[in-house]
Structure 1
Amino acid sequence: MSLKQVSVLLLLLQLSCCFRSGSCGKVLVWPMEYSHWMNLNVILDELVRRGHEVIVLRNSASIFLDPSKHTGIKFETFPIDATKEDMEMFYMQFVNMWTNALQDSYWEYLPALQKIFSEYSDSCEGLCKAAVLNKKLMEKLQESKFDVLISDAVGPCGELLAELLKIPFVYSLRFTHGYTMEKYSGGLSLPPSYVPIILSDLSGQMTFMERVKNMLFMLYFDLWFQIFNEKRWDQFCSEVLGRPVTFYELVAKADMWLIRSYWDLEFPRPTLPNVHFVGGLHCKPAKPLPKDMEDFVQSSGEEGVVVFSLGSMVSNMTEERANVIASALAQLPQKVLWRFDGKKPETLGPNTQVYKWIPQNDLLGHPKTRAFVTHGGTNGIYEAIHHGVPMVGLPLFAEQHDNIAHMTAKGAAVRLNWKTMSSADLLNALRAVIHDPSYKENVLTLSRIHHDQPLKPLDRAVFWIEHVMRHKGAKHLRVAAHDLTWYQYHSLDVIGFLLACVAITTYLVIKICLSVYQKLVKTEKKKSD
């Protein structure tokens, strides 16, 4: 039997099992760009492999969602008034604004964040309008009879689409700003006394002043979202649905929350039955390197190599920063593979090779890799944890500061300031994580935690998506907190009632005692008279 025949037979067996179990279905996806898509794409490929039909909604200016590069996934493209170049420019400006804002004091940083999120929200609303107000597209989606919708909560619209199409939906996300949506629509308890608010740059062990900062960040994000974002989305969703509705009402209907982290990266916190952690679902064993790259790695001898990458959204940097970095790398005895797309630095050493793209996972899994210099993106952090490689963190924006703060607190990384670090700072940080055995030991501990799970993260994510499809939702996992007002959730009505009962009882007892006392006094007076 030929290889082609074997492949066809396996596919038929897979599909027959799928049909027998009744689990094959149609999946609609509202995605995000860059690393969010890279992560979600892994889930979608696995769903396709299991026989499901996956249709991804793609705007005409999408950067990463290229139909020609995906054979199993289908794409439904809707037009928007922008080009791919416009979108790339927007994201680059978004990254630069955030990176620059993080160098300011907190009093300057928070207003800058507000501006960043406002522009981002405008973009999300524009994309959502282009989709849900497209009658031809919506009619086609209605006719398709989807079984589930998968959406990234960072880009609002999936919950509105699910309501319009009357289908259950699943969130795939790392976080929402300040955990606001998780708290107010998921019924999730996140006590600021010991749960660091995302974007606060704090760890799980907080001093008193850090807890003050954490509380202020929580209040800030809650207030900002309610004032600037919630009302606009309430109005927009109500107009589209033709009835009064709140944004949180729609979000609260999420059947499942798949969080792209785990207890190797996160600090323990309360969870709910429909919240599952699937961090590192994209991680996989290392594959062989291209021959020229393998030769370079092998030429490092016993010293090994350092992998340097600042992710997909940072392809170049200023000449000054590039020369600071190159000068530090040139002083290492290790060979260095640096993902860099820009003018070749004058201080670049013979031990350093620059590449426009590197097979990051395969390099991190190579036995000669000694350290990883990273911006702290969740995908890269998890690949380092998966393969047990200590890190030097140069966080730039978004959750990267939190990720590196967590890795530093867990003893698996050294953190540097991207804007102010010198060549000596970077050199000393690399020497520390390479030569101090505690960094390697700590990251290997995290790696063992990552691998010691009853199900692989990808299998867990796909299981819960299929669970929602099989049961047409997951209302059996929905906590009653969704149906309570804020004062009911905190039992303020019950506390008020009990206090009132105590007050009334106390009042009655005192009145009775006073009445009895007065009668006794009158009786004594009559006797004495």
Structure 2
Amino acid sequence: MKMCKEAVSNKKLITKLQESSFDILLADAIGPCGELLAEILKVPLVYSLRFSPGFSIEKYSGGLSLPPSYVPVIMSELSDQMTFVEREMEEFVQSSGENGIVVFTLGSMITNMTEERANTIASALAQIPQKVLWRYSGKKPDTLGPNTRLYDWIPQNDLLGHPKTKAFITHGGTNGIYEAIYHGIPMVGIPLFADQPDNIAHMKAKGTAVSLDFEKMSTRDLLNALNEVINNPSYKENVMWLSTIQHDQPMKPLDRAVFWIEFVMRHKGAKHLRPAAHDFTWYQYHSLDVIGFLLACVATAAFVITKCYLFCYRKFLKTGKKKRE
């Protein structure tokens, strides 16, 4: 938020951006800075990331409804340009034989952990027959096995797409989840914060992942989870089914993203797609005017019925009195 404040209050930067005459602004939904810049620059805004429960800014700001009946209440670095050292990585992968490999990363924001946690994890990894590529920048764990290599960075998407990959240990970032589904790789989820617990919960419900608590898991827990997703064929079958669904599209995702970005640019923000909520007052949005009208109708009907009843009742009393006289 501090960075956002400094950006929108930087007059020199804003002037330069305005003079550049951009046609559109792309932003993620983790904070309001994208919306503020789009408003200041008077250009259309396109969100490029679905975030999380509690952070569904893009849904609220878009004026979209969030019915819990069907709307459930990031992070990888990708590249297909590998250096020579990273292609030695390929040699390590190939040396795994029929056992294959396990890809392990907790995202770009988590590069270190306590020695105790690192040793717990390394001890579990040392006991599986697969080779492990672990993105980890901390001190080398004492229990690290010869089957595990540490890297400051790994080409995550490329590794998940490798035919020897058997499992993916992940924090549950959105991009990593989509990549694992795309390539049909079962997961061991170790969610840490934000949208990650929710993402892993969805994968667990689909039968494609086992979830573990980072702070509480033991070496045995991680070892059992890995053996489960690697050796129980149901996990592979379930994630392959999701992969089939994901691949079954009329056009490639990149082409679709380009189309909609250009669509918004061509139609000056595509205001015809904006929900009507943007044109409502607060009481119209909550249907208070409709509720008020209905209450007035009920009150009027009740008043008329009461008056008619009293009129008929009094007339009946007068008629009865005259008959008695």
Matches within 5 A, 1:101-180: 124=1, 126-175=2-51, 178-179=54-55
Cα 1:288–1:364 change in 2 (3 A) is farther
Whether 1:395 aligns to 2:271 is no
Matches within 5 A, 1:179-198: 179=55, 181-182=57-58, 184-192=60-68, 195-197=71-73
Corresponding residue SS for 2:48: strand
TM-score, normalised via structure 1 length: 0.57
Rg larger in 1 or in 2?
2
Q: Identity of counterpart residues, as a percentage? A: 71
Q: Aligned match of 2:114 in 297, 307, 318?
A: 318
Cα 1:451–1:287 change in 2 (3 A) is farther
Corresponding residue SS for 1:140: helix
One-letter identity of the residue aligned with 1:373: I
Corresponding residue SS for 1:178: coil
Whether 1:493 aligns to 2:282 is no
Cα 1:287–1:367 change in 2 (3 A) is farther
Q: Distance in 1 between matches of 2:136 and 2:55?
A: 33
Q: In structure 1, what is the equivalent of residue 225 of structure 2?
A: 429
Q: Distance in 2 between matches of 1:129 and 1:430?
A: 44
| Contact 2:31–2:57, Cα closer than 8 Å, also in 1 | no
Cα 1:283–1:487 change in 2 (3 A) is farther
Q: Aligned match of 1:417 in 200, 203, 213?
A: 213
| Contact 1:286–1:366, Cα closer than 8 Å, also in 2 | no
One-letter identity of the residue aligned with 2:255: D
One-letter identity of the residue aligned with 1:166: K
Q: Distance in 1 between matches of 2:286 and 2:272?
A: 22
Any idea what the Cα deviations from partners look like across 1:158-213, whole Å, max 9, x if unmatched? 2222222222222223226625534543222223466442xxxxxxxxxxxxxxxx
Any idea what the Cα deviations from partners look like across 1:120-163, whole Å, max 9, x if unmatched? xxxx1x32343333333332222222212222232322222222
Q: In structure 2, what is the equivalent of residue 474 of structure 1?
A: 270
Q: Distance in 2 between matches of 1:128 and 1:353?
A: 38
One-letter identity of the residue aligned with 2:18: Q
One-letter identity of the residue aligned with 1:446: L
Q: Distance in 2 between matches of 1:397 and 1:319?
A: 21
| Contact 1:377–1:403, Cα closer than 8 Å, also in 2 | yes
Whether 1:523 aligns to 2:312 is no
One-letter identity of the residue aligned with 1:432: E
Q: In structure 1, what is the equivalent of residue 135 of structure 2?
A: 339
Q: Aligned match of 2:201 in 401, 405, 417?
A: 405
Whether 1:512 aligns to 2:323 is no
Whether 1:305 aligns to 2:101 is yes
One-letter identity of the residue aligned with 2:221: D
CA shift for structure 1 position 452: 1.2
Cα 1:128–1:359 change in 2 (3 A) is closer
CA shift for structure 1 position 318: 1.7
TM-score, normalised via structure 2 length: 0.90
Aligned length in residues: 324
Corresponding residue SS for 2:110: coil
| Contact 1:176–1:182, Cα closer than 8 Å, also in 2 | no
Q: In structure 1, what is the equivalent of residue 248 of structure 2?
A: 452
CA shift for structure 1 position 431: 0.3
Q: Aligned match of 2:168 in 353, 372, 381?
A: 372
Q: Distance in 1 between matches of 2:181 and 2:59?
A: 28
| Contact 1:283–1:386, Cα closer than 8 Å, also in 2 | no
| Contact 1:393–1:416, Cα closer than 8 Å, also in 2 | yes
Q: Distance in 1 between matches of 2:12 and 2:79?
A: 40
Cα 1:150–1:296 change in 2 (3 A) is closer
| Contact 2:29–2:56, Cα closer than 8 Å, also in 1 | no
Any idea what the Cα deviations from partners look like across 1:338-390, whole Å, max 9, x if unmatched? 22222222212122222222222111111111111111111211111111000
Any idea what the Cα deviations from partners look like across 1:279-321, whole Å, max 9, x if unmatched? 99x9899999954323322222221111111221222222211
Any idea what the Cα deviations from partners look like across 1:490-510, whole Å, max 9, x if unmatched? 323212211221221122122
Q: In structure 2, what is the equivalent of residue 327 of structure 1?
A: 123
Q: In structure 2, what is the equivalent of residue 502 of structure 1?
A: 298
CA shift for structure 1 position 407: 0.8
Any idea what the Cα deviations from partners look like across 1:443-489, whole Å, max 9, x if unmatched? 11111121112232222222111111111111111121122244422
Cα 1:285–1:145 change in 2 (3 A) is closer
Q: In structure 2, what is the equivalent of residue 68 of structure 1?
A: none
Superposed CA RMSD: 2.7
Is there any run of 5+ residues in structure 1 with no aligned partner, and where?
A: 1-123, 198-259, 261-278
Is there any run of 5+ residues in structure 2 with no aligned partner, and where?
A: none
Corresponding residue SS for 1:357: coil
| Contact 1:132–1:161, Cα closer than 8 Å, also in 2 | yes
Q: Distance in 1 between matches of 2:268 and 2:70?
A: 36
Q: Distance in 2 between matches of 1:438 and 1:286?
A: 34
Corresponding residue SS for 1:427: helix
Corresponding residue SS for 1:473: coil
Matches within 5 A, 1:260-299: 290-299=86-95
Q: Distance in 1 between matches of 2:159 and 2:130?
A: 14
Q: Distance in 1 between matches of 2:175 and 2:57?
A: 22
Cα 1:514–1:491 change in 2 (3 A) is same
Q: Distance in 2 between matches of 1:434 and 1:483?
A: 53
| Contact 2:64–2:275, Cα closer than 8 Å, also in 1 | no
Any idea what the Cα deviations from partners look like across 1:86-112, whole Å, max 9, x if unmatched? xxxxxxxxxxxxxxxxxxxxxxxxxxx
Q: Distance in 1 between matches of 2:239 and 2:257?
A: 24
| Contact 2:111–2:136, Cα closer than 8 Å, also in 1 | yes
| Contact 1:327–1:423, Cα closer than 8 Å, also in 2 | yes
